[in-house]
Amino acid sequence: RIRKMAQSLFSMLIEKRPGNFAEQIVYENDLVVAFLDKFPMVPGHTLVVPKKQVEKMHELDGETAAAMGVAVAMVSAKVVEATGTDQYNIMVNNGADAGQEVMHVHMHIIPRRAGDYSASWIKSISQTRVEEVNPKCDKLPDAGEFEGALKTLRDAIRV
């Protein structure tokens, strides 16, 4: 018996368009919708969401993943134009341990300015690292072939 995934907040918004949700929408096609984040980190914080509900990025089919990439590029250009800053983060949190709060994959476009909020995610990870759980990685070698665990990991990730 196949268990049906509960409808996510994003699926509900896309399907029912409650309240003034339509006002938040900045881009839409058959596969994706982009809308202003209801609780923005900074002005212009925008989400790009596939209409098909999947939890994580690696679960997207190729056509939808491609549509997400195109939408992120197009919407990012408009965010740059609208906010006057060409500095921004594009982020995806895959899973609760990675900070995902809505279990429907989505990409954040977050405009940045010097001193606008907290530290970069890299600094955040390094400052809050628990070595036993998430040990610091060594810099990748500058020369030679990868060996051992690094080679195994690289080979496992290769498409």
DSSP 105-151: --EEEEE--TTSSS--HHHHHHHH--TTTSPPPPPPPSSS---HHHH
Spatial separation of the C-alpha atoms in residues 149 and 100, rounded to whole Å: 28
Structure tokens at 100: 């995902």
Catalytic residue among 45, 58, 104, 106: 106
Tokens 């405009």 correspond to 111
Residue 8 and residue 123: Cα distance in Å, rounded? Answer: 31
Locate 133 and state its tokens. Answer: 């759980």
Active-site residue 106, yes or no? yes
CA atoms in the 13 A half-sphere facing the CB of 116: 16
Please list the active-site residues. 106
